[in-house]
Amino acid sequence: MKIAVLSDTHGNKSMMSRAVEKIQHCDVVIHLGDNDRDVEYLRRYIELPFHVVRGNCDFGSKAPNELLQHVGGKKILMTHGHKYNVKYSLMRLIYRGEEADADIILFGHTHAPMKEYNQNTLIMNPGSVGNPRMGPATIGLIEIKGEVIQSSIVEI
């Protein structure tokens, strides 16, 4: 199972087009908010299932603030991150992931890519497609093969 993880696209169509080139081979796309409306643009070019959460800039969105889904046999917690104050600390988000028994925790909001492990849980921020901080525009790629989870941050 190959998963593309995008966040903070912020309506930047030229960068979204570049992201599309990198995620054509994936099985599912996760969009972590800001702007969840951009998913409609992406769906014009990608015929894949999407999981979408709302971000702090997604005013009037009907998307949930958080999703907990089984994807590829792993439990994935998806959130934009602003409700957990991720710009200051990941502890509240990590506690939520532990409470949910998540194998993978995905968040955005900071526009800065990162990935780390807390015990056996992958914690990843794919960075920003539309308005990156601290470097180039990036997405996250995750591949699940049985019990093995491989992940990378990819420049677009």
Over the stretch 46-71, which tens digit does the pLDDT of each residue have?
999 999 999 999 998 999 999 999 99
Three-class DSSP category at 83: helix
Question: What per-residue confidence (pLDDT) applies to 36?
Answer: 85
Q: What confidence category does residue 137 fall into, taking pLDDT thresholds of 50, 70 and 90?
A: very high
The answer to whether 138 and 38 have CB atoms below 8 angstroms apart is no
Over the stretch 56-111, which tens digit does the pLDDT of each residue have?
999 989 999 999 999 999 999 999 999 999 999 999 999 999 999 999 999 999 99
Determine the Cα–Cα distance for residues 59 and 112; give it in Å rounded to an integer: 22
Whether residue 134 is predicted with pLDDT greater than 90 in this model: the reply is: no
Q: Which CATH superfamily is domain 2-155 in?
A: Metallo-dependent phosphatases (3.60.21.10)
Q: What is the rounded average pLDDT of the residues 19-32?
A: 96
Over the stretch 26-44, which tens digit does the pLDDT of each residue have?
999 999 999 989 999 999 9
Domain spans in the chain, listed from the N-terminal domain onward: 2-155
> Exposed, middle or buried by CB within 10 Å (0-12, 13-18, 19+), for 55?
buried
Give the DSSP letter of residue 88. Answer: T
Determine the Cα–Cα distance for residues 94 and 118; give it in Å rounded to an integer: 8
Question: What per-residue confidence (pLDDT) applies to 96?
Answer: 98
Share of the chain above pLDDT 90, in %: 96
What residue type is assigned to position 4 of the chain? A
The DSSP line for 9-50 is: -TT-HHHHHHHHHHHTT-SEEEE-SS-TTHHHHHHTT--S-E
Whether residue 122 is predicted with pLDDT greater than 90 in this model: the reply is: yes
Determine the Cα–Cα distance for residues 107 and 84; give it in Å rounded to an integer: 10
Q: Count the alpha carbons within 13 Å of 85 in the hemisphere toward its beta carbon.
A: 5
Question: What per-residue confidence (pLDDT) applies to 55?
Answer: 94
Best CA proximity match to 89, nearest among 55, 123, 61: 123
pTM over 0.85, yes/no = yes
